[in-house]
Amino acid sequence: MTLDAQAVLWSAPSDERAGRPLLVVMHGRGSDERDLFALAPALPTEFAIASVRAPLSEGAGWSWWESGAQPGEMAASAVDDAADAVLAWLDDLELESPLVGTLGFSQGGAMSVHLMRRDPDRFAFAVNLAGFVIAGHQAGDAALAERRPPVFWGRGADDPLFLGPMARLVAQTEPWLADHASADVRVYPGLGHSVSPEELDDVVAFLRAQPT
């Protein structure tokens, strides 16, 4: 499994990326790299933003893993493979950045934290929007529990991904964040499976608080 390096959308040309903090942006299931890249003008300009395309074709868009009968049902190995594809792309990038962070929505939100768990020394923070933490143990969990990196987790109070039987995703995410991160958890009244202007403002404040 590999990422298409030619599909990556950048907020800065190649000669303006070195020495800047890097923000890796990952879209949700069935979308593409253009989706969250639309947020780039609102995000802090200190970051070089790279919006990547998930590796699996699904309908008119792309996904990070094949979902099961219910959202959040997947083999952990499938998420590992997707995360490792992002790590391999970063290795090939050979970009010198003072810090690297992640930002994702839904499946991409789950990826934002999973990348830290696969390679805890590479990522300084994560922004998980309407996503969750993958169940099970990862080799990097112990290092994260000691370092407790900043993680922003935002979701809508009316998001069907987390309601009814799917509330189990909240039950598996909350304790992991409590044990492994310095978490900024926000739940937005009236918000479904999307990102609101209020949430975007909170994300911008979170990003500006990171040492760049």
**pLDDT over threshold 80, residue 212:** no
Q: How far apart are CA 187 and CA 206, in angstroms?
A: 15
Which position among 11, 31, 63, 106 bears the catalytic label? 106
* pLDDT 10s digits, 69-111: 455 566 677 899 999 999 999 999 988 888 999 999 999 999 9
Q: Are strands 125-129 and 22-26 parallel, antiparallel or unpaired?
A: unpaired
Please enumerate, as own/partner, the contacts of 35-40 that have beta carbons within 8 Å and a separation of 24 or more. Answer: 35/105, 36/103, 36/104, 36/105, 36/108, 37/9, 37/11, 39/195, 39/200, 40/11
Region 183-210 average pLDDT: 97
**pLDDT over threshold 80, residue 1:** yes
The proportion of the chain whose per-residue pLDDT surpasses 70, expressed as a percent, equals 96
Q: Give the pLDDT score at 165.
A: 80
The CATH number assigned to the domain holding 90 equals: 3.40.50.1820
Question: Which residues 6+ apart lie within 8 Å of 93 measured at CB?
Answer: none
pTM as predicted: 0.94
Counting the structural domains of the chain, the total is: 1
**pLDDT over threshold 80, residue 65:** yes
For residue 169, what are the domain limits?
A: 5-208
Q: Tell me whether residue 193 is one of the annotated catalytic residues.
A: yes
Which position among 158, 193, 194, 202 bears the catalytic label? 193
Region 5-9 average pLDDT: 95
What average pLDDT is seen over the chain? Answer: 93
